[in-house]
Structure 1
């Protein structure tokens, strides 16, 4: 995956999702973030568009906003937020939207076509 976009109403749910996806070790997500995990320059980029809280947490729009971010990233049109790996032919992005405190989750994989 070029990047992962997690939308949740609370930070702890995003942390637990990263651990459930095995992108970070259980209990080590905070330390991993301090070391640069998730940032644009890191090998594993998370929430390049700011995630739900960074976008103002507009309820009911998370999936649409995540799809827009995938369109921008995979189309190499995200500007300063551009994830380099998303520019590659066949690049993929994972969007995960959590409902409430995680009572339900929806995952979508977006893909850039081959050049």
Structure 2
């Protein structure tokens, strides 16, 4: 699979734009003030509570959308992976516990000794 970094960057920009649109719409603020024309009414009170309640999940959602854009932007490199070949390699790979000086078996070699401590 070939990943085009330009497409990832474009997508990241679109996702960031969506996040800004969600934030800029200020839905919670609009709900909160929807009945301000009826001061002291139960409708104004209920709308105010609903707006306050909506603020946190909407801000969290906008933040998550923004984080998705950041993640995609960070992944904007070129990667070539043959999924089926890689999957076959992983399926055929068997490793004994490397910390016990285990051995590597499978398509990468026949009984290759693992020497040293595993990297952490």
**TM (normalized to structure 1)?**
0.23
Structure with more relative contact order (C-alpha pairs < 8 Å, separation 6 or more): 1
Q: Which has the higher strand share?
A: 1
Structure number, greater radius of gyration: 2
**TM (normalized to structure 2)?**
0.22
Q: Which has the higher helix share?
A: 2
